[in-house]
Structure 1
Amino acid sequence: MASEATTVQVEGPEGVVREMRVSSPSRVLWPELGITKLDLVNYLVAVGPAFVEANGDRPISLQRFPDGVDGEWFFSKNPPRGAPDFVRAVTVTYPSARAHPQLVIDEPAAAVWAAQMNTVVFHPWASRAETSDFPDQLRIDLDPQPGTDFADAVPAAFELRKVLAEAGLEAFVKTSGNRGLHVFAPIEPTAEFLDVRHAVIAAARELERRMPEQITTNWWKEERGERIFVDFNQANRDRTMAGAYSPRALPTATVSTPVTWDELETVDPAAFTVLTVPDRLATTGDPWAGMGAKPGTVDTLLAWWARDLESGLGELPFPPDYPKMPDEPPRVQPSRARKTEE
């Protein structure tokens, strides 16, 4: 007996229409809402142009869920076998110094093909495919810690916007699709990942100075308290966050959604889902349209980084899977270090 399958038409470049096969279209990906694989495909078709503008022409990792969001999942970084000929890859270098090809999405049909491969969450790099060593986006993740929530991240985002403006950068904001906020600023692709990470740390420390009771840059969870953590390590090479308009693998099928600064105080991130975002986009437009038209530089933030170094604030810890980095403090949990000293 033939397996269940259907096709969808997806507009491509120069008027091309792609006939994309979708196998098992009735497979339920979000059981709580009954959202199927075909629903996800239709979502990606509906938001396709905005999705590609935000995530296209970048190395991208696919977070795949063969048995739905309640099941096991894995990342695809190398292009999966059987990719259509219009789906390309670019060779990137990882923190280990190993180089490998990574998928690039250039048109909505490529995202639909990824959904056919059970991709739910799309994780684009902060750099473009042909200049993958040099980010063209400064990204800052505002991560609410236990005892805080989305409402606590909102004032932090507004103050961060002021900090970045003082550094000559225009900030854009989106919901994470969960409890936090992601603040982006377009930058010229002239600084390597480590320098951009240092720029993020400089901005985070300035934000922490202005809101010490609400903001923390402490890497160790035991030291963060009930504050918003500025996750500076999301700025590292090969560290990604859910892209704009990417669904999240949460029971409510929320979407990481760009919003305007004017609406940020009143938005409900839970209202942005695979089922609702297409209508929102059609009604309000894309708040991130043309975001990269006027990039800034990280020069001022790097001057702040140098200033902080002179005042005794040094490097911060890297993720545990990273090689030991220059001037990095010990990767030992503070409470464990104290016990060792005793």
Structure 2
Amino acid sequence: MAKDAVMLAVPGPTDERAVRISSPTRVLWPEPGITKLDLATYLVDVGEAFIRANGNRPVSLQRFPGGIDGEQFFSKNPPKGAPDYVRSVPVVYPSGRSHPQLVLDEPAAAVWAAQMNTVVFHPWPSRADNSDNPDQLRIDLDPQPGTDFDDAVPAAFALRTVLEEAGLTAFVKTSGNRGIHVFAPIDPVREFLDVRHAVIAAARELERRMPDKVTTKWWKEERGERIFVDFNQANRDRTMAGAYSPRALAHAPVSCPLEWDELESADPTAYTILTVPDRLRTVGDPWANLHEKPGTIDVLLEWWERDVSNGQGELPFPPDFPKMPGEPPRVQPSRKNAENWDGDLPKKGD
């Protein structure tokens, strides 16, 4: 009801904006009792760092009208009645279809998204004015069953070295769950497929150095107890939780940027909606200068071409993507047979 709403003051470009928050006492995270107003207040507190990381990018909003334990859906284009400080840009999806996608340019836009029951923010790795060419190379280190955050830590340090050898500066954050996200700023001059190939090249190099700890195997049945380097997160319209975005998990964690010297002793469960604002005030934003010195993916693409010439070509795409040139058949290894596999099958008894 209208009488239940509150007006939240949010710093704007020139003056404060008043953003209306309806149902402010609605509990979104039952375990810590975090409400919709708490979420909106969090986004005010981290607003500058949040927009620096996620603003001026196409973004998908993961919305939970009844709290994190209820139904959810994604919003990509602005709904009717969006305020004039929330805009959209046309983007091209993997199908080739073009459609407007939300862009958040200031903290008030993020708070408005919270009013729309957004919990997780998924920004593109490209800017709104150049959406076809990413300015971030992103790599998701995803612990598989039998592994955890602590197993991803040495992989992240090794990946940092790999990227440094390719001329890139790596930044790190928690995923908000068990994983680790490694980003590197790049010049926005290559399209998504090139960046995907650069990620695969880095992933394969990491796998060669840590074969018992890291895998690029797409099919879960082949990964084992290793850290999966999720190369498919580099595809067009594939995103991960943005920096300082909350996650829809019981303890209200946040995907939190870290300094590299913090990573080894980091506890990912400690970075939450309740703790991260104080961290920003005392420690600062480790990603404040992320885009000061972008690099190129030229060396990684040289590694990609080298691997292709050595017989390591394209890897599977997500199932909803159109069939891509050079892609292997989309069938898990245990289901290979003469009808669905056009490669060499092992002979019976091999």
By the TM > 0.5 criterion, same fold? yes
Report the Cα distance in structure 2 between the residues aligned to 1:327 and 1:201, rounded to whole angstroms.
14
Per-residue CA deviations over 1:91-113 (Å, capped at 9, x if unaligned) read 00000000000000000000000
Equivalent AA in structure 1 for residue 320 of structure 2:
D
Distance 1:67 1:219 in 2: 34
Q: 1:259 is aligned with what amino acid?
A: L
- Give 1:130 shift: 0.4
Residues 317-336 of structure 1 correspond to what in structure 2 (within 5 A)? 317-336=316-335
Aligned residue runs from structure 1 range 260-299, under 5 A = 260-299=259-298
The aligned counterpart of 1:99 is 98
Partner secondary structure for residue 300 of structure 1: helix
1:8 match: 8
Which residue of 2 is the match for residue 166 of structure 1? 165
| TM-score, structure 2 as length reference | 0.96
Distance in 2 separating the partners of 1:328 and 1:162: 29
Separation in structure 1 between the aligned mates of residue 134 and residue 200 of structure 2, nearest angstrom: 15
1:86 Cα deviation from its structure 2 partner: 1.1
Residues 101-158 of structure 1 deviation map (CA, whole Å, 9 limit, x = unaligned): 0000000000000000000000000000000000000000000000000000000000
Q: Which amino acid aligns with 1:55?
A: N
Superposition TM-score, scaled by structure 1 size = 0.98
Between the aligned partners of 1:137 and 1:306, the Cα distance in structure 2 is 21
The residue number in structure 2 matching 1:235 is 234
CA distance in structure 2 between the partners assigned to 1:266 and 1:80 by the alignment: 42
CA distance in 2, matches of 1:339, 1:159: 40
- Give the root-mean-square deviation of aligned CA atoms: 1.0
**Separation in structure 2 between the aligned mates of residue 314 and residue 86 of structure 1, nearest angstrom:** 45
| Deviation, structure 1 residue 338 | 4.5
Cα shift readout 1:218-273 (whole Å, capped 9, x = no counterpart): 00000000000000000000000000000000011000000000110001000000
Amino acid at match of 1:8: L
Whole-angstrom CA distance in 1 between matches of 2:12 and 2:327? 47
Please name the residue that 2:342 is paired with.
Answer: none
**Counterpart residue identity of residue 89, structure 1:** S
Structure 1 pair 2/281, CA: closer, same or farther in 2 (3 Å)?
closer
Alpha-carbon shift at residue 200 of structure 1 (Å)? 0.0
Quick one: which amino acid aligns to residue 80 of structure 1? P
Q: C-alpha displacement at 1:80, in angstroms?
A: 1.7
Assess if the C-alpha contact under 8 Å between 1:3 and 1:24 holds in 2. no
Letter in 1 for 2:45: A
In 1, distance between residues paired with 2:337 and 2:294? 45
- Gaps of at least 5 residues in structure 2 are 340-344
The aligned residue for residue 119 of structure 1 is 118
Deviations 1:54-101 (A, max 9, x none): 000000000000000000100001112211001111000000000000
| SS at structure 2 position matched to 1:140 | strand
The answer to whether the Cα contact below 8 Å between 2:2 and 2:22 also exists between their aligned partners in 1 is no
Q: Cα gap change, 1:187/1:2 in structure 2, threshold over 3 Å: closer, same or farther? A: closer
Query: How far apart, CA to CA, are the structure 1 residues paired with 2:105 and 2:178?
Result: 29
Question: What code does the residue aligned with 1:117 have?
Answer: M
Is the partner of 1:123 in helix, strand or coil? strand
% identity of equivalent residues: 75
Partner of 2:181 in structure 1?
182
Q: May I ask how many residue pairs the two structures share in their alignment?
A: 341
CA–CA distance in 1 between the matches of 2:42 and 2:307? 45
Confirm or deny: 8 A CA contact 2:89 2:100 kept in the other structure: yes
Q: How many Å separate the matches in 1 of 2:113 and 2:119? A: 8
Supply the distance in 1 between the matched residues of 2:32 and 2:147 (Cα, whole angstroms).
27
Tell me the amino acid that sits aligned with residue 87 of structure 1. V
SS class of match (1:266): coil
- 1:191-210 alignment, distance < 5 Å: 191-210=190-209
SS in 2 for 1:85: coil
Q: How far apart, CA to CA, are the structure 1 residues paired with 2:245 and 2:233?
A: 17
Structure 1 spans left out of the alignment, 5+ residues: none
**Segments ≥4 residues shifted beyond 3 Å:** 338-342
Matched residue type, 1:121:
V
1:250 aligned partner, one-letter code: L
How far residue 316 of structure 1 moved from its aligned partner, in angstroms, is: 0.1
2:211 alignment counterpart:
212
Residue of structure 2 in register with 1:137 after alignment? 136
